[in-house]
Structure 1
Amino acid sequence: MDNCMNSEPSSGPEKRTAEPRLSRKKITKVFAKVYAFFYGNPPAILGGLLLTIILTAAVFAPVLATHNPDKRVARPHVAPNAEYILGTTRSGRDVYSQVIYGARKSLTVAVSAGIIAMSLAVFIGVSSGYLGGKTDERLNFLTNVFLVFPQLPLLIVLAAFLGQVSSLVITLLLGVTSWPWGARVIRSQTMAIRHKEFIISAEVMGESKIRIILAEILPNLTSIVFGGFLGTVIYAMGAEAGLGILGLGDATEVSWGSMLYWAQTSSSLYTGAWWEMLVPALALAMTGGGSGADKYVD
């Protein structure tokens, strides 16, 4: 009797200590998935490094920039020199400062769009792959409908219909049109693991579907979600620039897209001011060139 009474209180601490161990194990598993995404994938490493550099430039733009990007600081189209290392624009603004501040605006739009897109992709992909049945049919149909329409032309049509739009509208447009491919990949992976032993064991133990999704399925999708997010951010930066070049964005905001728009408007290449067009174009090309998103798709 005494032994039974003494043994009961000890089960509580054991349970409490077991749960933190389980949580640490899952966190370690998540980091292992992220490491697996980068290991042996040089393009992904390069893409992550470039994004880190751009993020650093965006965060510390006030420190790194030498001039106010919105103000005229010199004569129009001054060639790169010691004072203006990347030259000036037709309106006499410092190109280097505009690139630094443009990274902040372009990255803000791209990261926000990536968060929206991957949130939708995870919700729709996991729900479709795990729940199955009618839910899978409806969500898969919705995904296929979005996949039918070419994304960039659809963005151009929507932006043209709305007129010159703000960064917020561009972010929403990119976010709600960039999720289908990610959702399809996540659905396939979810369907591949939903009949695994650890999922079946959790169901037999009476775990709720929400907890199974959060605690068992999502940790196994970390590398796919991270890769999809990285690819979406890279794509969104290019799409934002594309809309900016066409004059569909807010040309008064300093972004890489608006820089290309003004460089095109001022015919900088024809007048010999190649730096006004080349600098933001190279920034976009370098970012997209090292994305490593093909690893995620594969």
Structure 2
Amino acid sequence: MATVETQRDVTGDVVPGVVVPDRRPRWRGLLRSRKLASGLAIVGFFAVVAVLGPLLVGDPNLVSDDRLLAPSAEHLLGTTTTGQDVFRQLVAATRGSMLVGLVVGLLATVVSVLVGVLGGYAGGHADESLSLVSNVFLVLPGLPLVVLITDYVQTRGALAIALIVSITAWAGSARVLRAQTLSLRSRDYVDAARVSGEPGWRIVTFEILPNLLPLIAAQFVFAVVGGILTEAALAFLGLGGSGSWGTMLYFAQNSQALSQGAWWWFVPPGLCIALVGAGLALINFSLDELINPRLRVPRRPRRTGPA
């Protein structure tokens, strides 16, 4: 945005209508975003539950004689067909799902930055080779490939599932970062740094990466969402590890909770997946507004006087 101010020329006459660029940092508007605040509140709540919840609720696998009971004061979210407390399972499963999403987001972001940014800046045969690898992973069907790999892997813990999901979660982000890097490496300030003798790693670190941070942050959030949803899909198919929201849905489906009217068994984990996805989507929308000024909604000026 820009503001119109009045200035004086060298003779002292007023020159109205001079356009002065708005030099306020774009991050300042992001910090006032209601979407960002709402998204951070939702994701922060689940992060706290993932860290502290399993330490407070007790053993989620404890079996009792209270089988398939509706929610009550004793069992806040009812029980399963084996007498396990659904609330304890839900709290414990939060850690597994959030851990998978975080690991997938970190791994996918790191690989996409290495492949996209380094390849785009280096150019030549290195860029062509890395682009070929990215294109191969882009055309491969993601979920069927993950299902195939998971079926052959014997260890199915949270970290193992996260590593498998990360294999197909980086290619799209790498292509976007490569395109942006190709645009940035031809800018004047990058050429000036190159002429002044700065090494390539310093140019990438201090000249190119700072301009890509909003885009990298948005892609990290998107990768976290994809990791949580993919893990839930694998667990629902019986290919995931233990202790996640998808695992709860898998056992609820196998026990025919829907036909028995045990809504308290499958609705809470599905609702948690939806809420986390909504919170991360709000954060992603806020970052998109920072990257693309056309998406910003102009704020209405406040009235200071009578209408």
Contact 1:114-1:236 within 8 A present in 2 as well: yes
Structure-2 separation of matches of 1:151 and 1:51: 26
- CA deviations on 1:188-222 (whole Å, 9 max, x unpaired) are 11112111222112111111111111111111111
**1:284 lines up with 2:279 in the alignment:** no
Deviation at 1:46, TM superposition (A): 3.7
Q: How far 1:168 sits from its partner (Å)?
A: 2.5
Equivalent residue, structure 2, for 1:259: 248
Query: When the two structures are aligned, how many residues end up with a matched partner?
Result: 263
How far the C-alpha of 1:290 sits from its partner, in A, is 3.5
Identity, in percent, stands at 36
- For 1:213-252, what per-residue CA distance to the aligned partner results, in whole angstroms no more than 9, with x for missing partners? 11111111111111111111111011111101111123xx
Q: Is the 8 A contact 1:113 1:174 kept in 2?
A: yes
Moved more, 114-123 or 212-221: 212-221
2:236 corresponds in structure 1 to 245
2:202 is the counterpart of 1:195: no
How far apart are the structure 2 equivalents of 1:105 and 1:36? Answer: 34
What is residue 153 of structure 1 aligned with on the other side? 144
In the TM superposition, 1:20-169 aligns within 5 A as 42=35, 45-62=37-54, 64-65=56-57, 67-73=58-64, 75-162=66-153, 165-169=156-160
Provide the alpha-carbon RMSD of the alignment: 2.2
Secondary structure of 2:280's aligned partner: coil
TM-score (normalizing by structure 2): 0.79
**Any idea what SS the aligned residue of 1:81 has?**
coil
CA distance in 2 between partners of 1:189 and 1:222 (Å) = 11
| Higher relative strand content | 2
Give the whole-Å Cα distance in 1 for the aligned partners of 2:227 and 2:65.
Answer: 33
Higher relative contact order by CA 8 Å / sep ≥ 6: 1 or 2? 1
Partner Cα distance (2:267, 2:62) in 1: 21
- Letter paired with 2:262: A
Distance of 1:38 and 1:184 partners within structure 2: 29
Structure 2's unaligned 5+ residue stretches are 1-24, 293-307
Name the stretch that deviates more: 210-219 or 238-247: 210-219
Letter matched to residue 62 of structure 2: K
TM-score (norm: length of structure 1): 0.81
Letter in 2 for 1:176: I
The verdict on how the C-alpha distance between 1:188 and 1:221 changes in structure 2, with shifts beyond 3 A counting, is same
AA aligned to 2:274 is A
Distance in 2 (CA, whole Å) between partners of 1:180 and 1:278 is 33
Could you say which structure has the higher helix fraction? Answer: 1
Shift of 1:34: 5.9
Q: Displacement of 1:73 after TM fit?
A: 4.6
| Aligned residue type for 1:150 | P
Q: Quote the residue 1:274 is aligned against.
A: 263
Cα distance per residue 1:118-172 (max 9 Å; x no partner): 1000000101211112111111111111000121121112212335723222111
